[in-house]
Amino acid sequence: MDLTGQVVMISGASRGIGAAAARIFAARGAKVALLARSADALAGLASDIGADAIAIACDVSDRAAFGAAVDTTLRTFGRLDVLIGNAGAIDPIGHLADTDPDEWGRLIDINLKGVFNGMHAVLPVMQKQGQGTIITVSSGAAHGPVEGWSAYCASKAGAYMLTRVVDKEYRAQGVRVLGLSPGTVATDMQREIKASGINPVSQLDWSDHIPPEWPAQALVWMCSPASDGFLGDDISLRDPDIRRAVGLT
């Protein structure tokens, strides 16, 4: 899939799925705007990619900062075709009655409000262009409860419903909106989950997790018409048919 001329914005791009996606999108010819809370954390990745990458310090929970990141991308590259909403947090992990309310709210600010902030910032651009793709990195936790993950489950369920609503409101204007549920991925988040020991996911062996390059490759595939049957919904990378369609083994 040739993405030459396309501009892709990726939040949470400093590591894990976000960093892997940045490399794969750039390898396919796209220009990439890389977002993370610290631009320093992105410096090495942006340098490796070269002139087709920019590093932007952005806390996705800050609506004004997300808007400024979109403005910077437009000034630099002249357009914005894809938003990958990948930034996310897992803490606090614990039973609800034992959870600090401020920490619970902070996760909602990142995982749910951060998705809203990104969508709100890019939709006017995509409407004006008459096309665009918004993909949110979702989770199986959006669709079923997991012990100790009240904030994470609630945030991902809310983000999934945002995907459905925005698809309903903007598909007719050329904006494609969908989500990717990648399964368990070998990233730093899984190390936090492992350390908690609170539920069956924390008991998984590291070899049970897929590499971040797999969901990154799926994100590229989701930017093509081949994924149009999933607009307004989540694609699960646990589905063997999806893995075959993406070219994963």
7-242 in CATH: which number?
3.40.50.720
Among candidates 65, 66, 122, 59, which has minimal Cα distance to 88? 59
The alpha carbons of the chain give a radius of gyration, in whole angstroms, of 17
Domain boundaries, the chain: 7-242
Distance of CA 176 to the CA centre of its chain: 15
pLDDT at 249: 72
pLDDT in the model for residue 87: 95
Active site (catalytic) residues: 152
Assigned token pair, 168: 């309903």
What is residue 147's predicted lDDT score, i.e. its pLDDT?
A: 92
- Looking at residue 219, what is its pLDDT? 98
pLDDT digits (tens, 9 = 90+) for 166-223: 999 999 999 999 999 998 787 777 778 778 778 877 777 767 778 999 999 999 999 9
Which residues of the chain are under the pLDDT cut of 50? none
